[in-house]
Amino acid sequence: MKILVINAGSSSLKYQLFDMDTGDVIAKGLCEKIGIGGAITHKRPGKEDYHEEVTFRDHDDAIALVLKLLTDPTLGVIADLSEIDAIGNRVAHGGEKLRRSMLVGDEEINYLYSIVPINPLHGPPAIKGIEACRRLMPGKPLACVFDTSFYATLPDYAYIYPIPYEYYEKYQVRRYGFHGTSHRYVTERAEALVGKPLSELKVITCHLGNGSSITATKYGKAVDTSMGFTPQEGLPMGTRSGSIDPTVVTYLQRVEGLSPEEADKMLNSKSGLLGVSGVSSDGREVWAAANEGNARARLAIDILAYDIKKIIGSYVAAMNGVDVLVFTAGIGENDRALRARVCADMEYLGIAINEDVNMNGPRGKELELTAEGARVKTFVIPTDEEYMIALDTQRLLSK
Strands (E), the chain: 2-8, 13-19, 24-32, 37-43, 50-56, 86-91, 102-103, 142-146, 202-208, 212-218, 221-225, 324-328, 367-368, 377-380
Using CB under 6 A as the binding rule, whether residue 51 contacts ligand AMP is answered as: no
Describe the strand order of the beta sheet including 102-103 as a list of residue ranges: 50-56, 37-43, 24-32, 13-19, 2-8, 86-91, 142-146, 102-103
Using CB under 6 A as the binding rule, whether residue 276 contacts ligand AMP is answered as: no
Name the H helices within 244-361: 246-256, 260-269, 272-277, 283-291, 295-319, 329-334, 336-343, 355-360
134: amino acid identity, one letter: R
126: amino acid identity, one letter: A
- Residue from 47, 57, 135, 284 touching ligand AMP (CB under 6 A): that is 284
Give the binding-site size for ligand AMP (rule: CB under 6 A). Answer: 12
Using CB under 6 A as the binding rule, whether residue 176 contacts ligand AMP is answered as: no
All residues at 6 or more sequence positions from 119 whose CB lies less than 8 Å from its CB, including other chains: 92, 93, 95
Using CB under 6 A as the binding rule, whether residue 30 contacts ligand AMP is answered as: no
Strands 24-32, 13-19: pairing kind = antiparallel
Q: Select the span of 38-46, 162-170, 281-289, 308-316 touching ligand AMP (CB under 6 A).
A: 281-289
Q: With 0-12 CB in 10 A as exposed, 13-18 as middle and 19+ as buried, what is 355? A: middle
Nearer to ligand AMP, 56 or 327 (CB): 327
Q: How far apart are CA 378 and CA 254, in angstroms?
A: 45
Nearer to ligand AMP, 91 or 331 (CB): 331
Q: Select the span of 71-79, 227-235, 283-291, 386-394 touching ligand AMP (CB under 6 A).
A: 283-291
CB distance 267 to 238 below 8 Å: no
CB distance 88 to 3 below 8 Å: yes
**Smallest distance from the beta carbon of 205 to ligand AMP, in angstroms?**
13
**Smallest distance from the beta carbon of 238 to ligand AMP, in angstroms?**
5
How big is the chain, counted in residues?
A: 399
Using CB under 6 A as the binding rule, whether residue 384 contacts ligand AMP is answered as: no
Interaction residues for ligand AMP, span 302-341 (CB under 6 A):
329-331, 334-335
Using CB under 6 A as the binding rule, whether residue 361 contacts ligand AMP is answered as: no
- Residue from 83, 264, 282, 366 touching ligand AMP (CB under 6 A): that is 282
**Smallest distance from the beta carbon of 175 to ligand AMP, in angstroms?**
21
Using CB under 6 A as the binding rule, whether residue 283 contacts ligand AMP is answered as: yes
Nearer to ligand AMP, 14 or 174 (CB): 14
**Smallest distance from the beta carbon of 334 to ligand AMP, in angstroms?**
3
Nearer to ligand AMP, 158 or 337 (CB): 337
Nearer to ligand AMP, 331 or 381 (CB): 331
Q: How far apart are CA 292 and CA 298, in angstroms?
A: 10
Using CB under 6 A as the binding rule, whether residue 236 contacts ligand AMP is answered as: no
Which of 329, 334, 359, 346 is CA-nearest to residue 237?
329
Strands 13-19, 2-8: pairing kind = antiparallel
Using CB under 6 A as the binding rule, whether residue 238 contacts ligand AMP is answered as: yes
115: amino acid identity, one letter: I
392 as an active site residue: the answer is no
Using CB under 6 A as the binding rule, whether residue 386 contacts ligand AMP is answered as: no
Using CB under 6 A as the binding rule, whether residue 209 contacts ligand AMP is answered as: yes
Q: How far apart are CA 79 and CA 270, in angstroms?
A: 47
Q: With 0-12 CB in 10 A as exposed, 13-18 as middle and 19+ as buried, what is 352? A: buried
Q: Which of 147, 224, 323, 335 is catalytic?
A: 147
**Residue showing the smallest CB distance to ligand AMP in the complex:** 330
- Residue from 176, 178, 287, 387 touching ligand AMP (CB under 6 A): that is 287
Residues near ligand AMP (CB under 6 A): 209-210, 238, 282-284, 287, 329-331, 334-335
Catalytic residue numbers, as ranges: 147
